[in-house]
């Protein structure tokens, strides 16, 4: 079964900093990973599966078109950059993992690659926060956002695109998704 991509490699080349001569195979892999890892994580598996199904049959509803065009695709293009960046710098061969090199340019060192990835991640997180805010504000229009279904493979939407390396043991307890969702709706 072919994977349904929400954007094309050409779109990524046209609307991000990816050079036009980059092999589209690498971009398609990054798009697929960005969709499955990031977008599905933030909209939940129920809504994600509905959108993928509609895109595959070319029957996207007006609501989902708005969601795709104004919120999902802007976030997805930057998450694609996050996923692609390390693999555009390195190449896996049958003998080793090597850093790509060119006669006309010099590659980034690891700290520069980290800086670039952080910059692109900030853009992805900004657009993802807009996506989350829109879905919270319009959750009555997207019932699969609140109720993605049941089963072991169901992914409930994450409530924040930002992560932090510091653990603050606030109230010495964990809050489940439903509590976070209700807390966020009250704000």
How many domains would you assign to the chain?
1
**Res 184: pLDDT:** 61
Q: Is the residue at 17 inside a domain? A: yes
Q: Estimate the crossing angle of helix 110-137 against helix 73-89, to 10 degrees.
A: 160
* pTM for the predicted model, two decimal places: 0.80
What is the arithmetic mean of pLDDT over 46-61? 96
Q: Is the residue at 90 inside a domain? A: yes
* Cβ-based neighbours of 137, under 8 Å, separated by 6 or more: none
Q: Is the residue at 95 inside a domain? A: yes
**Res 58: pLDDT:** 96
Residue of 162, 88, 93 lying closest to 125 (CA atoms): 162
Q: How far lies 154's CA from each of 34, 38, 142, 148, 185, in Å?
A: 18, 15, 16, 7, 22
**Res 174: pLDDT:** 52
Q: Is the residue at 2 inside a domain? A: no
Q: Is the residue at 3 inside a domain? A: no
> Token pair for residue 109?
């060192």
Structural domain including 32 reads 9-186
Q: Is the residue at 4 inside a domain? A: no
- The pLDDT confidence band at residue 34, using thresholds 50, 70 and 90, is very high
Q: Is the residue at 151 inside a domain? A: yes
């Amino acid at each position: 079964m072919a994977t349904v991509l929400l954007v094309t490699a050409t779109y990524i080349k046209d609307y991000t900093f990816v050079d036009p001569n980059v092999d589209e195979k690498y971009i398609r892999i990054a798009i697929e990973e960005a969709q499955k890892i990031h977008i599905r994580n933030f909209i939940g598996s129920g809504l994600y599966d509905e959108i993928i199904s509609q895109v595959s049959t070319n029957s996207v509803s007006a609501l989902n078109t708005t969601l795709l065009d104004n919120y999902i695709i802007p976030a997805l293009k930057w998450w694609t950059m996050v996923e692609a960046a390390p693999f555009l710098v390195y190449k896996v061969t049958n003998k080793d993992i090597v850093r790509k090199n060119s006669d006309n340019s010099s590659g980034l060192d690891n700290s520069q690659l980290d800086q670039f990835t952080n910059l692109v991640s900030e853009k992805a997180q900004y657009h993802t926060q807009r996506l989350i805010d829109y879905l919270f504000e319009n959750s009555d229009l997207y019932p699969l956002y609140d109720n993605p279904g049941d089963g072991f493979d169901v992914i409930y939407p994450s409530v924040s695109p930002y992560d932090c390396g510091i653990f603050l043991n606030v109230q010495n307890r964990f809050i489940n998704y439903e509590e976070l969702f209700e807390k966020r709706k009250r704000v």
